[in-house]
Amino acid sequence: MRQSESNPSRRIALVQSSVNVRRLTPGFASLAGMGYDFWIIDLYRQPSLLLESLREWKPSAIVTEWLPGLTEGLVALGCPVILVPSDEKVDGVFNVDVDDLAIGRLAANHLISRGYRNFAFVGRRDAHYAKQRLEGFQSIVGDVPIYWEEFRDWRQYDEYWRDPDEDMMDWLLGQPKPLGIFTAHDPTGRHVLEAAAQANLDVPFVVGVVSANDDESVCEMARPALSSIRLPWRKIAAEVMQTLEAVWAGKSPRGPVLISSLEIVARGSSSFEAVSDILVRRSMQSLISQIASIKSVEDWATQSGVSRRVFERRFQAALGRSPLAMIQMQRIERAKILLSTTEIPISLIAERCGYQSNERLSVNFRALTGMSPANYRRSTRDRSA
């Protein structure tokens, strides 16, 4: 099959697993027919048949994942090869990846803000990204106990069923509590939640879990629902295309392109119940339920029955953050939910989040997220489109 002169579109082969096709397709779909022609082929097809199909189709570029042996075979076809998301160093390929160190740091800060003071990590020893995420995590919380999960090469990412894991249960029982756990990706996070339930450890009261990737098919089906770090898949797809255009123009990047636009999606597996100071814990519960009516730190401290000075001292000791920082964080978290799930006008959202004006919401929202409320709403619509 040859590319005809009447159809000069660049042919891009997406040699991906089904989960990555689901993640990346929305970012590529808007470019289909606009100078690009995309072809999806399953990464796990028989390698000889996969390579034969690609030789016949003669793609202008291949966008794939790292798979030892197959990646080198794809490079031998002679067209540009982009590994995504991956920064694995393979001769002849280019890389677009998320900043895995930043993912680890964000997970650590989330668990700290939720009141956990003991930490641990669970991941796969053979996964390069897991080691980087662990490094970022430990850069904030220091050395932590690590559980290296067994690699199940017969199970694909999306596949799940309950598997008793006595080793993990014993490991969880042996850790100091309350324990904040960061897992390298969502299936591992769900595995930890199941092991905690089998060990009769309450989540999030005794064990809290945050993961990465925010695949809703995994996170929302866990019990409790799994907190995770959302990755900017549309931006990743856009960077892939920019990298390809640079390669075709003879301006190849010198190293991996790393993307660090990340955000926590907090669900039931992590909460403020880990806080040992009962005053702080109850105050956080009242803040979450009354975010629109608590107007100031003074107001909140009075409601909690202590002076502002005592209030601030106990928050710093329990969470390492001031009461004002916690008010702002919770207001923005509530605004994110309303922006992404409703069509309520932004002025009304400001009121429901305790702001006296739309302008104050905008200033604080931009300070914490790097974008305006309106742009955030549009970005969430794009993700769900």
> How is 140-179 classified by DSSP, letter by letter?
HH-S--EEEEPP-TTS-TT-------HHHHHHHHTS-SSE
Q: What is the mean pLDDT of the chain?
A: 89
pLDDT at position 162 is: 55
Please give the structure tokens belonging to residue 168: 């993990």
Same domain, 223 and 351: no
* 219 neighbors 267 (Cβ within 8 angstroms): yes
Write down the residue that tokens 């990743």 correspond to: 236
CA distances from 351 to 356, 357, 363, 376 (A): 6, 7, 14, 18
pLDDT at position 374 is: 93
Q: Per 3-state DSSP, what percentage of the chain is helix, strand, and coil (rounded to 5)?
A: 50, 15, 35
Instruction: Label the pairing between strands 263-265 and 227-230.
Output: antiparallel
Residue 318 within a domain: yes
pLDDT at position 252 is: 85
Same domain, 228 and 358: no
User: Alpha-carbon distance 245 to 196, whole Å?
Assistant: 47
pLDDT at position 229 is: 96
pLDDT digit string, tens, across residues 321-375: 899 999 998 899 889 889 988 899 999 999 999 998 999 999 999 998 888 999 9
Residue 1 within a domain: no
pLDDT at position 271 is: 80
**% residues pLDDT > 90 (the chain):** 60
Count of structural domains, the chain: 3
Q: Please choose, from the candidates 243, 232, 268, the residue with its C-alpha nearest in 3D space to the C-alpha of residue 370.
A: 232
Please state whether the peptide bond connecting residue 224 to the residue before it is cis, i.e. omega within 30 degrees of 0.
yes
Same domain, 126 and 268: yes
Same domain, 141 and 216: yes
Residue 245: CB atoms within 10 A of its CB come to: 12
pLDDT at position 161 is: 58
Same domain, 163 and 307: no
Query: What CATH number has the domain bearing residue 25?
Result: 3.40.50.2300
Q: Please choose, from the candidates 62, 50, 69, 46, the residue with its C-alpha nearest in 3D space to the C-alpha of residue 11.
A: 62
Once rounded to an integer, what is the mean pLDDT over residues 178-185? 96
* 199 neighbors 172 (Cβ within 8 angstroms): yes
The H or E element containing residue 48 is: helix 47-57
Report the largest interatomic distance among the alpha carbons of the chain, rounded to a whole angstrom. 77
Please give the structure tokens belonging to residue 93: 């390929």
Query: DSSP E strands: which ranges in 74-126?
Result: 81-83, 93-98, 118-124
Same domain, 81 and 144: no
- At 216, the pLDDT band (50, 70, 90 cuts) reads confident
Residue 313 within a domain: yes
Once rounded to an integer, what is the mean pLDDT over residues 65-94? 92
- At 9, the pLDDT band (50, 70, 90 cuts) reads confident
* 83 neighbors 65 (Cβ within 8 angstroms): yes
Same domain, 240 and 214: no
Same domain, 109 and 222: yes
Q: Please choose, from the candidates 113, 114, 87, 112, the residue with its C-alpha nearest in 3D space to the C-alpha of residue 101.
A: 87
Which pTM does this prediction carry?
0.80
- Give, rounded to a whole angstrom, the gap between the first and last alpha carbons of the chain: 33
Residue 222: CB atoms within 10 A of its CB come to: 25
pLDDT digit string, tens, across residues 259-310: 987 889 888 899 877 787 889 988 988 898 899 999 899 999 999 999 999 9
| Last residue in a domain, options 223, 243, 272 | 272
Residue 4 within a domain: no
- At 69, the pLDDT band (50, 70, 90 cuts) reads confident
Please give the structure tokens belonging to residue 317: 């000791």
Backbone angles phi, psi at 290, to 5 degrees: -130, 35
**Please, what sign has the CA dihedral across residues 290, 296, 300, 305?**
negative
User: Alpha-carbon distance 82 to 93, whole Å?
Assistant: 6
| Last residue in a domain, options 223, 256, 289 | 256
pLDDT at position 266 is: 87
Query: What CATH number has the domain bearing residue 359?
Result: 1.10.10.60
Task: Find how far residue 177's CA is from the centre of its chain.
Answer: 25
Domain hosting residue 282, numbered range? 278-384
Same domain, 59 and 37: yes
* 274 neighbors 110 (Cβ within 8 angstroms): no
